Structure 1
Amino acid sequence: MPHISALFVYPVKSCGAIPLHQVRLEPHGLPWDRHWMVIDCNGRFVSQREFPAMARIRPQLAERGLVLSAPGAHTSLEIPYDASIARERVAVSVWRDSFVAQDEGDAAARWFSAILGAPVRLVRFADDVTRLASKTWTLDADAPTQFADGFPLLVTNQASLDELNARLDAKGAPAIPMDRFRPNIVLSGLDAFEEDFIDTLTIDGIALRMVKPCARCPITTVDQAHGTRDARWPNEPLDTMFGWRANPRVDGGLTFGQNAIVVEGIGNELRVGARASFEFAF
């Protein structure tokens, strides 16, 4: 039977993941997911597309705040959870969305700039700001999200990765782990790419609606453990997905996984091992 086989949260957009065993669902998805973001001097978000080394920045949700560490950094960086601390508000952008966020100060900016070798700053999502997923895809439902690319949750399927890895193996390319696709929820017990046809996913009183296939970008080519690309296979898995996974719903983008929104069950818990049922889209 379908079930959750893994859960992940990404406190800083495009930095490392934290695996979870269980987590309480919030309106915007998982607590602290993409709650922080790194921006350039123009306020635009930066990611592993420009800085693959961001994959090696490791977050930890400690008692008092977010703790970040990275290879080569002399010290870790701690960011308090307390949102009441006065912070300068700055204009930021995530793709076509522009809004304001709270700057985390010069010490955080120096820490990230030293690691990435470029002038950047760290911001957090402001509690009084509302950013909604595209209603073109949510069918006019209000679906809040924070610094995620566009939607509260990303759901992937282990069987789909197994199929992709079989195709990589057939051409002599190395298999890749699921972390290349940076999901929040990983399902097992489905057929390969069965998630493409699911409308609503129900788990322990939680209902999630799959609203948009996730078109994949070059971040999938970055080894998340080392922050580098394979010199021999620098464009995998996108080369293997080319054509086979092109989806006309997203202008021919190469899709893997489904973006989802929360329909009901806010405050309930998702947990690894929880059984899932689903309804197909017709």
Structure 2
Amino acid sequence: MAAITALIRHYLEYLSKPGMILSVLGLVLPFILVAYFDTNPASPRKAVRIPGCLRLGLQSRSNLEDQFERRSLSNDGQPTVKALFTYPVKSCRGVELTASEVQATGLNFDRLFTFAQLTSTSKQAEQTLGNASGVSEEWDHQWRFITQREFPRLALLETELWLPDPRNKPAIPAHKARSRSRLDAESSQSRSRSRSRGNTLELERGRKDSDAPEVTSWVANGGCLLLRFPFEPDINPFGIRTETVTLQIPLVPTPQRQEAQNYKREELIIWKGCPLALNVTNEISAINLEKLKYFLGISNPLALFRVDEHSLRPVSRCLPQGTPAGTYKVGFADAFAVNLMSLASVRATDDELPDEADAKSKLDARRFRANIYVTGIQAFEEDHWKTIHLGHQINGHSFSASSTTAEYQVACRTARCKVPNVNPDTGEKDRNEPYTTLGRTRKVDEGAYPHPCLGMQMIPRFRTGIVQVGDTISVSETGEHCCEKMFK
């Protein structure tokens, strides 16, 4: 026993010599570093390219980079667009833009998708069997949208928009491609003298249809939405097993793509609305869907939905006087098409935060998820806007400085929940701030009570327009606001 102990001591002393430690590190460290930089989300990513598409949005410095510098607010009385954001997936990271087309339903691609979980509610039903009666328990299963309110790590899901490159020659229209393939198949079948040969051609045509451009081409499907998130398993020494998971979703799926991927139109609960929406979850592999659920901390079934343009929700409150019911509709936005916010209002809110708050002196405007960030005015000045003109309307496919300006109805203030408590960089939710401070300083609208308000909700009063960073805002009507309850 003493000999074994002495032998172990001898080897331990040998292995603990500096030269031996350096030798072991020299052999092992390169493998650790390679694995780390190949999988860690903080390391430089491999370039992603979507065939036939260009990436939309800013890819370098953000226009909000200097938002914490007071001189950047330039309170000169001339409201100016400082930054633009569209949010392709509700409650996920936005895409910063230099310009955007605006439809009646909001900025292009804004809240086009949303994640939802399947919720179950119990309902009691009377049951009669012969002469016996009783009560049986039944369940309602419904898809319900999710946000950072319940799952703050949604803030870490990065989004990219890839649109068809306009420099490319247009592909054969889908209906012509289908007609051509059908004629080719019929011609082949007419030359066939054998049923077996005809069956073979049918199988071949089926395989060709599944590989057709309208099914596989990103260009034919309106481009691509990229979603990224870091996945880290429970056992992950040195972080070397962390990987960046990338999901690819067609933006405007063709009927052929929808059929090939077995999309379904299902009811989706958004606040008090229950529109039909397109369930596109089959675009996500089962293993990646499980990783996403783990990352977000979701145990219920999870799905990704896309807006169905034929099943939008009508806005029924805070409409311009004399507006017929059903005139304005939205997709997955909470209530209104466009959200505007003044950076001076964010800084004023920051000033009111308690000294011990983590966000003190660095309250990021991105927490409030506005589409349009404005400088050039005093804090909360936008509270009194009623009608503004911003950017221009588009006639056909072009606009000019002399074209008609685009008019927006400033419908009401934005009633705030606790989403701004989520740090957009870490996905961590503060228990109190800034919601507590807003509750103390910004309960300024009786209609929104008990919620505080910050920012304004707007309705485009045109068919199609364009807004750009640097555009100035003309305020043509001011007045008082009173928020009305959400969808009736």
TM-score (norm 1): 0.92
Q: Determine the structure 2 residue equivalent to 1:272.
A: 469
Greater radius of gyration (CA): 2
> Once the 2 structures are TM-superposed, how far is the Cα of residue 172 of structure 1 from its aligned partner?
4.2
Distance in 2, Cα, partners of 1:150 & 1:267: 19
Distance in 2, Cα, partners of 1:114 & 1:67: 19
Distance in 2, Cα, partners of 1:144 & 1:30: 13
Higher normalized helix content (fraction of residues)? 2
Distance in 1, Cα, partners of 2:285 & 2:304: 6
Q: Determine the structure 1 residue equivalent to 2:454.
A: 256
2:157 to 34, 57, 64: 57
Q: 1:251 to 1:109 in 2, by over 3 A?
A: farther
1:79 partnered with 2:79: no
1:97 partnered with 2:273: yes
CA deviation vs aligned residue, 1:138-187 (integer Å, no higher than 9, x gap):
1445222110111101110111111111112x634323110110000111
Q: Determine the structure 1 residue equivalent to 2:106.
A: 29
Distance in 1, Cα, partners of 2:388 & 2:356: 35
CA RMSD of aligned residues (A): 1.7
Is the Cα contact below 8 Å between 1:109 and 1:120 reproduced in 2?
Answer: no
Q: 1:273 to 1:101 in 2, by over 3 A?
A: same
Residue 106 of structure 1 aligns with an amino acid whose one-letter code is N
Distance in 2, Cα, partners of 1:81 & 1:92: 19
1:108 partnered with 2:284: yes
Q: Determine the structure 2 residue equivalent to 1:10.
A: 87
Query: 5 Å matches for 1:1-282?
Result: 1-41=78-118, 42-63=142-163, 64-72=223-231, 74-84=244-254, 85-86=257-258, 87-108=263-284, 110=286, 111=289, 112-118=292-298, 119-133=301-315, 135-139=316-320, 140=323, 142-168=327-353, 171-173=355-357, 174=360, 175-204=362-391, 205-230=405-430, 234-246=431-443, 247-264=445-462, 266-278=463-475, 279-281=477-479
CA deviation vs aligned residue, 1:111-162 (integer Å, no higher than 9, x gap):
34243232210010012223222x2211445222110111101110111111
CA deviation vs aligned residue, 1:218-269 (integer Å, no higher than 9, x gap):
1110001110024xxx3111111123211212123100001110013x3321
Q: 1:121 to 1:256 in 2, by over 3 A?
A: same
Residue 17 of structure 1 aligns with an amino acid whose one-letter code is G
Q: 1:80 to 1:107 in 2, by over 3 A?
A: closer
Is the Cα contact below 8 Å between 2:266 and 2:279 reproduced in 1?
Answer: yes
Q: Determine the structure 1 residue equivalent to 2:169.
A: none
SS of residue paired to 1:53: helix
Q: 1:109 to 1:254 in 2, by over 3 A?
A: farther
> Once the 2 structures are TM-superposed, how far is the Cα of residue 37 of structure 1 from its aligned partner?
0.6
Q: Percent identity?
A: 28
Is the Cα contact below 8 Å between 2:230 and 2:245 reproduced in 1?
Answer: no
Distance in 1, Cα, partners of 2:415 & 2:285: 31
CA deviation vs aligned residue, 1:75-106 (integer Å, no higher than 9, x gap):
30000123323221111011000111011133
SS of residue paired to 1:243: helix
Distance in 2, Cα, partners of 1:253 & 1:154: 17
Distance in 2, Cα, partners of 1:16 & 1:149: 16
Residue 92 of structure 2 aligns with an amino acid whose one-letter code is C
Residue 171 of structure 1 aligns with an amino acid whose one-letter code is D
- How many equivalent residue pairs? 276
> Once the 2 structures are TM-superposed, how far is the Cα of residue 108 of structure 1 from its aligned partner?
2.7
* Structure 2 gaps, min length 5: 1-77, 119-141, 164-222, 232-242, 392-404, 481-488
Residue 239 of structure 1 aligns with an amino acid whose one-letter code is T
> Once the 2 structures are TM-superposed, how far is the Cα of residue 74 of structure 1 from its aligned partner?
4.3
SS of residue paired to 2:467: strand
Residue 318 of structure 2 aligns with an amino acid whose one-letter code is W
SS of residue paired to 1:113: helix
Is the Cα contact below 8 Å between 2:79 and 2:473 reproduced in 1?
Answer: yes
Is the Cα contact below 8 Å between 1:215 and 1:250 reproduced in 2?
Answer: yes
Distance in 2, Cα, partners of 1:225 & 1:5: 21
> Once the 2 structures are TM-superposed, how far is the Cα of residue 15 of structure 1 from its aligned partner?
0.6
Deviates more, 1:246-255 or 1:12-21: 246-255
Is the Cα contact below 8 Å between 1:241 and 1:254 reproduced in 2?
Answer: yes
Residue 50 of structure 1 aligns with an amino acid whose one-letter code is E
